[in-house]
Amino acid sequence: MDYGNEFIVTARYALETGASRQLSRRYEKGELVRVRRGIYTDKQHWLALKPWERYRATARAVAAENPSVDFCYETAALFWGLQIVGVPSHIHLANASRGHAGARSPSTIAAALNPSGTNGLERIRAYGIYRHHYNTVTVFHRGLQLTNLVQTAVDVISRGSFSHGVVLADHVISASRFKKLFTSKEALEKAAGNLSSEAKRQRVNHILEFANQNSGSAGESLSRAQMLLLGFPPPELQIEFYDTEGFIGRTDFFWREQGIIGEFDGDAKYLRDEYLGGQSAREAVLAEKKREDRLRALGFTIVRWDWATAKDPAKLYAKLLAKGLAPTRNTHLRTIHPRARG
């Protein structure tokens, strides 16, 4: 991949202009950010990026510095387009020798702009490098060397919490959400059989057993995993409702016996064009209110929550309890590896 349009690479810049010292001077003036050794980018551009974007850009800068690197774990997952919760703290690289394995501190820096020592990056997170003694075959995808999709998914699921593993598992097996790259539970289970420890194999298999391709979003997957861990009865997913006017809509969660409908509200629902269907955000909100009124008219109780609640078990517990959904004894918790809880 050509990184010339994204970064200013010292070696290339020197060949093209014969004036590599200009980059050092611009850096010292506070105009550039040094992402990796010999890899610069415009500071204002860097500051304007969202955390996810800076993480991916940092990984691409690592590849620009050393095109032979192999990415694994969460870094590979992001470049495959898999959904994970939160921004990783490190760029993960595979195939390091034992002597070179381990974490390295972030290298993204900017020159100070004034005597106080401020440089604009004080509140901007930088990402370190984590080299893993992990000998694996990688594939070329989107200009980078990555562990293959199935192996990447299994690796990430085996390392994280139960709820975060469910988010990724639901996504990777969904033909509607992951389109052409989706895979089967069977393929993931087969790959899990090659993991290095029985604990990891069990963790992945428990998560895959719970995974559901009908989950509509990462927020819904996270919520459903939290519900299990909190002891609530399992909901039905994506159930269609009708009244005398016809089709009302498809709900995220439905507890039939309790007559309770649960809806996860992600910001994208009212902000992204692909979810608005040609409506304005205001029109979408009004349509959602009418939809909810029709469901209530059928006698159902509606409970809604957002990302902040889905990520906080105590908040989600209180929200569901307040609407009349009572926890039940959850025997599934006994089968979940202790490190996978939460």
* Whole-Å CA distances, 246 to 238, 251, 263, 288, 291: 17, 15, 20, 16, 11
pLDDT of residue 5: 72
Task: Give tens-digit pLDDT for 121-177.
Answer: 988 999 999 999 998 999 999 999 999 999 999 999 999 999 999 999 999 999 999
Does 316 map to a domain? Answer: yes
- Say what the pLDDT of residue 20 is: 67
What is the number of domains present in the chain? Answer: 1
Asked whether residue 27 is assigned to any structural domain, the reply reads no
- Cα gap 278→59, rounded to integer Å: 35
Q: Which domain holds residue 249?
A: 232-326
- Element at 147 (helix H, strand E): strand 144-147
CA 290 to chain centre: 32
Structural domain contains residue 33: no
pLDDT at position 116 is 75
In a domain, 130, yes or no: no
pLDDT of residue 23: 86
Whether 201 is covered by a domain: the verdict is no
**CATH label of the domain that carries residue 239:** 3.40.960
Tell me whether residue 275 is in a domain: yes
* 125 is a domain residue: no
| Per-residue model confidence (pLDDT) at position 120 | 87
Contact 119, 30 (CB under 8 A): yes
Q: Please state, as a whole number, how many other Cβ atoms lie within 10 Å of the Cβ of residue 270.
A: 17
Any idea what DSSP says for residue 215?
Answer: -
pLDDT of residue 283: 66
Phi-psi region of 33 (alpha: psi -120 to 50; beta: other; left: phi over 0): beta
Q: Is residue 318 part of a domain?
A: yes
Burial of 287 (0-12, 13-18, 19+ CB in 10 A): middle
| CA dist., res. 20 & res. 38, Å (int) | 10
Q: Which parts of the chain sit beneath pLDDT 50?
A: 1-3, 270-276, 331-342
